[in-house]
Amino acid sequence: MSDFHQSNRIVNEKYRRELFDHVTKQVRPENFSNFKTTDPQRFYLNFKNCVVPLINTEIQRLEKSLTHTSDSHLLLLKISTLVDAIIQAALDASIWLHNHTLQKKLHPKNIPIAIIARGGYGREEIYFQSNIDVQIILGQGQTEEIRQIVKHLEYLFVHQNIFQTSTSTCYANTDSLGRELGEGKITDLCALLEGRLITGNPDTYLEAINIVKKVSALQKENLLNYCHEHKNYYEVSNTVFQQEPNVKEELNRLYWALALARLKYDLKNTNQFELLDELLKNDLISAPAFKNIQSSFGFLSKVRLFLHCNQKGSHRDMMSYEVREKIAQSMGYGVKEFFHKYFYEAAYPLKKYSRNIFWESMTPDTRKVKSLSKNFSVNSQHQIILEKDPTALFSQDPIRIFKIFAWVSEKNYYLSYSIVRSIEHHVDQMCPIFIGKDDRKEVQLCFKRVINGKYFSKSLRLLHEFGLLENFYIPEFKNICGLLQDIYVHHFPTDIHVLSALDILNGLETDE
């Protein structure tokens, strides 16, 4: 972990101690319980009325601090800590209510319950309107008393919508957890691999987490395959340019890349900010890639936090037409400047570098099934692959790059990861003014093949993705790149709208 993130952890631990102390003093069951009656519904409501003002005050304070900071890592830690504090208060209240109702003296340390944060909550990456995913583990020796305490906890925290967002709760016991994870959904195992103890019995948690580790070792191949299923996030044609982009979807590209790398290389950190530090420390990403990802991740995280301040419900992560000007102003930009930064300095670089992490964590398919030339072949997945070292190949003759797009247009081939990386590595070295007359003719002939190909729109998207369309063929196209269309019904900026129209045109069947 970097010194910066380690410092944030220290700051957050101080915040945790102070917040927990404050909540403990303010949320005392004996102060809001009616000793004359044992109506649990009244108790649940009184608990909610007690904690909601505390939550709202703290959320408002955190939202206010968002304007003055670019440190999303620390802010997300604090929001997660706030949820932790309320869950701790809910468990304490559940035990108190059970003891008071039945005149018992159960001590929290003797209750075999572990409450585990899963998914984004487990990674301590809770945004203001994020869903809260909790797993309740019951240890050995569970009784009807324990189940009653869990029932109180569920009513106190889950059913009353205290955080005004979706809260999901799963239940398991240590006796059957291994079997359930081995036979159940792989998504549950993934979520628990990102789990951490919120509160409860440490021994029960340790027993549960050891089971999770054992099952994950047996299911590692299935876990890797599950991550591989999300490779469509990194397709070149899967554009990030939309006029109403979903910020969560942009961030999912980084998430699945890091999730795959964490499983592949057995990395320890689950928090994405800190996992990036671990990748850099282990030389799994370069320093420039690390810096670019950090910048993009920080920018998009802050945008998502601002969105959650202004929107609720299912569209809270959408940069809707109604709020985009307000979000741009909150980030310190005009709308046009903001979207240019969003597209070209955040979303696109994050997509590119996340894709590189993802593909470098996979085993490439190098099985040649067809030869295209002495330098290029096609593998079993219809991807164009290289026969020789790409560095030497494109350095000697960068014009070879343009032939690739002609093959895509004519045969509907895909680009392998090695091809994509090679193009990105050499595209900055290519400039029309440095290309000789004969080579320029060949470049133009390649474009003619692209236009005449059966899958021309797919190839044009690829040329645009790498900046070749505007630099070599249609210079005016760069004037519409990322240009917003200020009409509500348009989903894409102008350049992507044009390419989308070409997709439709390409898809039309004509009579012979």
User: Which CATH number do you get for residue 252?
Assistant: 1.20.120
Q: What is the mean pLDDT of residues 427-455?
A: 81
383-386: strand order across its sheet: 368-371, 376-379, 383-386, 414-415
Q: So what's the pLDDT on residue 510?
A: 46
Residue type, 495: D
User: Which CATH number do you get for residue 87?
Assistant: 3.30.460.10
Q: What is the pTM of this model?
A: 0.84
> What is the count of structural domains for the chain?
3
Residues whose CB is less than 8 angstroms from the CB of residue 334 and which lie 6 or more positions away in sequence, other chains included? 328
Q: So what's the pLDDT on residue 511?
A: 43
Please check whether residues 51 and 138 belong to one and the same domain. Answer: yes
Please check whether residues 438 and 326 belong to one and the same domain. Answer: no
Q: Is residue 444, in this structure, part of any structural domain at all?
A: yes
DSSP 246: B
Q: Is a pLDDT exceeding 70 seen at residue 36?
A: no
The single residue listed with the structure tokens 């369309």 is 469
Which of 269-273, 395-399, 401-405 shows the highest mean pLDDT?
Answer: 269-273
Q: Is a pLDDT exceeding 90 seen at residue 328?
A: yes
Q: Among 218, 242, 276, which residue terminates a domain?
A: 218
Please check whether residues 60 and 37 belong to one and the same domain. Answer: yes
Q: Is residue 224, in this structure, part of any structural domain at all?
A: no
Q: Is residue 512, in this structure, part of any structural domain at all?
A: no
Of 297, 301, 319, 300, which is closest to residue 310 (Cα–Cα)? 319
Please check whether residues 85 and 54 belong to one and the same domain. Answer: yes
Please check whether residues 343 and 262 belong to one and the same domain. Answer: yes
DSSP 333: S
Q: Is 431 helix (H, G, I), strand (E, B) or coil?
A: coil
Please check whether residues 380 and 400 belong to one and the same domain. Answer: yes
Q: Is residue 223, in this structure, part of any structural domain at all?
A: no
Tens digits of residue pLDDT in 458-490? 999 888 888 888 888 888 888 877 777 665 555
- φ/ψ of 77, rounded to 5, equals -60, -45
**Torsion angle of the four alpha carbons 258, 264, 267, 269, in this order, in degrees rounded to the nearest 10:** 30
Greatest pairwise CA separation for the chain in angstroms: 96
Q: Which of 32-41, 125-134, 261-270, 442-451 is predicted with the least confidence, judged by mean pLDDT? A: 32-41
Q: So what's the pLDDT on residue 294?
A: 94
Please check whether residues 246 and 388 belong to one and the same domain. Answer: no
Please tell me the distance from the alpha carbon of residue 319 to that of residue 303, in angstroms, as a whole number.
9
Q: Which of 72-76, 78-82, 456-460 is predicted with the least confidence, judged by mean pLDDT? A: 456-460
Q: Among 197, 218, 239, which residue terminates a domain?
A: 218
Please check whether residues 312 and 372 belong to one and the same domain. Answer: no
Please tell me the distance from the alpha carbon of residue 346 to that of residue 260, in angstroms, as a whole number.
21
Q: What angle do CA 480, 486, 491 make, to 5 degrees?
A: 80
Q: What kind and span of H or E run contains 386?
A: strand 383-386
Q: Is residue 226, in this structure, part of any structural domain at all?
A: no
Per the structure, the complete domain to which residue 437 belongs is given by: 368-507
Q: Is 453 helix (H, G, I), strand (E, B) or coil?
A: coil
Q: Is residue 296, in this structure, part of any structural domain at all?
A: yes
Q: Among 218, 253, 288, which residue terminates a domain?
A: 218
- φ/ψ of 384, rounded to 5, equals -80, 130
Q: Is a pLDDT exceeding 80 seen at residue 391?
A: no
Q: Is residue 225, in this structure, part of any structural domain at all?
A: no
Tens digits of residue pLDDT in 195-243? 999 999 999 999 999 999 999 999 999 999 999 999 888 876 666 667 7
Please check whether residues 403 and 338 belong to one and the same domain. Answer: no
User: Which CATH number do you get for residue 408?
Assistant: 1.10.110.30
Please check whether residues 162 and 58 belong to one and the same domain. Answer: yes
Q: Is a pLDDT exceeding 50 seen at residue 512?
A: no
Please check whether residues 335 and 413 belong to one and the same domain. Answer: no
129, 209, 346, 491 from 320: Cα distances, Å: 16, 40, 18, 10
Please check whether residues 293 and 389 belong to one and the same domain. Answer: no
Across the chain, mean pLDDT equals: 87
Tens digits of residue pLDDT in 158-196? 888 888 788 888 888 888 888 888 887 899 999 999 999
Q: What is the mean pLDDT of residues 388-398?
A: 69
Q: Is residue 327, in this structure, part of any structural domain at all?
A: yes
Please tell me the distance from the alpha carbon of residue 271 to that of residue 255, in angstroms, as a whole number.
10
Q: So what's the pLDDT on residue 432?
A: 67
Q: Is a pLDDT exceeding 80 seen at residue 388?
A: no
